[in-house]
Amino acid sequence: MARRKKGLPVSGWVNLDKPYDFGSTQAVGKVRWLYTAQKAGHAGTLDPLATGILPIALGEATKTVSFLVDADKTYRFTLEWGRTTATFDREGATTAESDVRPTRDEVQAQLSQFIGEVTQIPPNYSAIKVDGERAYDLARAGEDFELAGRQVTIHDLRIVDVPDADHITLEMDCGKGTYVRAVARDLAVALGACAHVSALRRTRVGPFGEETAITLEMLENLGHKAALPEALLPVSTALDDIPALAVTAEDAFRLAQGRSIVLLPRQVEALRDQLTGGSRTVCAMDGERLVALAEMRAGSLNPVRVFQLT
């Protein structure tokens, strides 16, 4: 007899506005508990000291997490001049101090070197593994090590506010694997100053932005009203940049069974116009229902990942 899964077969995305001092795993656990969901996961860890967008996948949406992990992100962060810390945020021990307070113009003059394909050395206090150990564990243990630089993409880095001489707020659009704290470290060095990140907020992960975000308090209130489904976004939300193809009920049935379907010449031509970058992946849709992620090959659509949605 098959083992019965605990929880309810809830599927969809919750665009959580994660609170300060709350871990990503802790947030996933809380949301899963609120929905009594069988499965849950998140797309991109957000530090406990950061706030903002943490997309949480429930049920069948967990099958689309990998598409969101690689998505571009936007961060808003504040640098506080005068003190560098071991972690490059406000919780770390002070490692250097300076009276240098760069002006807005001085900061602006340095930003261009951080935009584009750049080599970035991650902070030692990061989750990167070194000989099987997390870098932050080695750093906390006082181990001496160096992390290798790696290529990251920063699409834009701009100043959004200078509230006083001690602080400056910037916003960054970037690809995966980019560390805000490393940008803060390197920018301070370029300016001959000391600084750390005093506030950090993620405002976008792919298609998930602040305009559709919901707080834990709001979710709890919806739970009291038995209205939690109102906060669920469709499973297909994470796939907004993948072309959609409408299929018949009969073809949807075949795809759901893991079988290929033959495309009409006009469908092939339409998809070729939409597919970019060598991608062959298509969202097969039966009305508003996501049936499968499939690859178009030789005039056929071959299911790669099937969704059990009603």
What amino acid is encoded at 21 in this protein? D
Select which of 17, 47, 173, 286 is catalytic. Answer: 47
Give the list of residues 6+ apart from residue 295 with CB closer than 8 angstroms, or none.
280, 281, 282, 301, 302, 304
Query: Please, what is the Cα angle at 42 between 27 and 225, to 5 degrees?
Result: 50
- 55: helix, coil or strand? strand
**Considering only CA atoms, which of 213, 169, 269 is closest in space to residue 54?**
213
Q: Are 202 and 52 contacting, i.e. CB atoms less than 8 angstroms apart?
A: yes
**Considering only CA atoms, which of 156, 176, 157, 166 is closest in space to residue 199?**
166
Catalytic annotation present for 105: no
Cα separation, 63 vs 72, in Å, equals: 19
List the structure tokens of 235.
């499973």
Determine the length of the chain.
310
**Considering only CA atoms, which of 286, 300, 196 is closest in space to residue 245?**
286
Catalytic residues: 47
